Chains A and B, each alone.
Chain A
C-alpha cells in the first residue's frame, strides 16, 4: 500500500507521519518519485521570478493617497465631499432596496410603492432598466484617476449596454418571439453589474 500524498507532504515538511511511511518509502520508487516531485515543486515555486518594476508613478500615487487620508486636525469636511458622502449613502440604501431581486416581500411588509402595476414582462424589465439608469445617473462623476482593475470591467459593461441598446433599436433583432424579453433581461443584468461596480468605484473615490 502506497503512502498517501498528505503523508508525503508531511514528511517533506518535517511533520510527524505514521511509522509505516518511512520504511515503505525505502523500497517504493513511486512514492519516492512523488516525494521528490513535491520537494522540487516547492523549490520551483520559490524560484519563480519577482514582480517586475512597479508601474510609473506608483510611489507618487501612494504618497497622494496617504496625504489624503491623513487626519485633518479638526478641519471640517469640505461641503462637496459631505454632500457626495450623503448622496452615496442614500443611493446605497436605494440600491439595496431597489436592486435586490429576492422573493416577493412577506405579507404586511412595508415596501416602496410601485408606480404602475403591469404583468407584461418586457414592460417590467424596461421599468427596472429605467430605474437602474436613474440610479446610475445620480452617482457622482467617475474619478479622474481610475483604478485599472475597476475601470476595465466598467468600460466593458458600458460597451455591452451600448450593444444591447443597438440590438433593441433594430427592428429585425426583435423578430422572433421572446427576443425583446431576452434583450431587456440581459440589459437589466448588465446594468445591475455596472451599477454595483460604479457604486464601489464611487465609494472608494470618496
Chain B
C-alpha cells in the first residue's frame, strides 16, 4: 500500500474542492490550511533552501487554485496537490537559474542564511543534515520513494530516466546516508552496492 506521507484528503471538509472551484475564498483558504504543512514540508525536503522552498510552496497553491478546473476528481485531491508540488520542485531543481545560482558565491550565502534545518533534536538533526548533503537528485529519489511512497517507475519518469536508474540512485543514496550517519571512527563493513564482492 502506498504511504501517503502528510498528504491526505481526510483533512479537508467534504465539498471544499467544489466550493473552491466555484470561487469561494473561504474554501480556498481551507485548502491552503489543510495542505499547507504537507506542501511546505515536501518542498523543503526536496529543495533545502528555505526561501526557495517557501516561494515554491506559494507557487504550488497559486497553480492549484488557478488550475482547479483541471482537477477532474480522478484520484485523490491530495495526490493531485502532491503531484503539482513534486513537479514544481523538480522543475525548479532543473531550472537554469537554480544551476546558475548553485555555481555562484551567492549560493553559499543563501545556504547560510536560509538552509536551516527543521529539527532541533540530535538524531533528527543529524539525519536532516545528511539528507542535505546528498545531491538534489539523490535526495529527491530517497524522499519520494521512502517517504512519499512513489514507485521507482514513477520516479524514473519524473526524472526523465528509468526505474532502474531510480533504484540505483536509491541504493547509492542509502549507502551514502549510512556513511554520513555513522559515528566518527566507525568503518562501514564491506557491502556491495550493486555488484557482488
The answer to whether A45 and B62 touch across the interface, beta carbons within 8 angstroms, is no
CB of A36, distance to nearest CB on chain B (Å): 11
Alpha-carbon separation in the docked complex, A5 to B170 (Å):
10
Q: Is B167 an interface residue (CB 8 A)?
A: yes
The answer to whether A66 and B65 touch across the interface, beta carbons within 8 angstroms, is yes
Chain A, residue nearest B96 (CB): A196
Alpha-carbon separation in the docked complex, A147 to B28 (Å):
22
CB of A57, distance to nearest CB on chain B (Å): 11
Q: Is B9 an interface residue (CB 8 A)?
A: no
Q: Is the interface of A mostly helix, strand, loop or mixed?
A: helix
Q: Is A46 an interface residue (CB 8 A)?
A: yes
- Identify A45's interface contact among B43, B57, B146, CB under 8 A: B146
Residues of A within 8 A of B146 (CB): 41-42, 45-46
- Identify B127's interface contact among A9, A44, A69, CB under 8 A: A44
Q: Is B197 an interface residue (CB 8 A)?
A: yes
Alpha-carbon separation in the docked complex, A33 to B6 (Å):
29
Alpha-carbon separation in the docked complex, A139 to B123 (Å):
48
Q: Is A120 an interface residue (CB 8 A)?
A: no
Alpha-carbon separation in the docked complex, A2 to B195 (Å):
10
Alpha-carbon separation in the docked complex, A150 to B170 (Å):
31
18 A–B pairs (Cβ distance < 8 Å), ordered by A: A2-B196, A4-B193, A5-B192, A6-B168, A9-B174, A41-B177, A46-B146, A49-B118, A49-B124, A50-B37, A50-B118, A59-B29, A148-B51, A152-B114, A153-B101, A156-B105, A196-B100, A200-B97
Which residues on B are within 8 Å of A, measured CB to CB?
3, 5-6, 25, 28-29, 32, 36-38, 40-41, 43-45, 49, 51-55, 57-58, 61-62, 65-66, 96-97, 100-101, 104-107, 109-110, 113-114, 118-119, 123-124, 127-128, 131, 142-143, 146-147, 167-168, 170-171, 174-175, 177-178, 181, 189-197
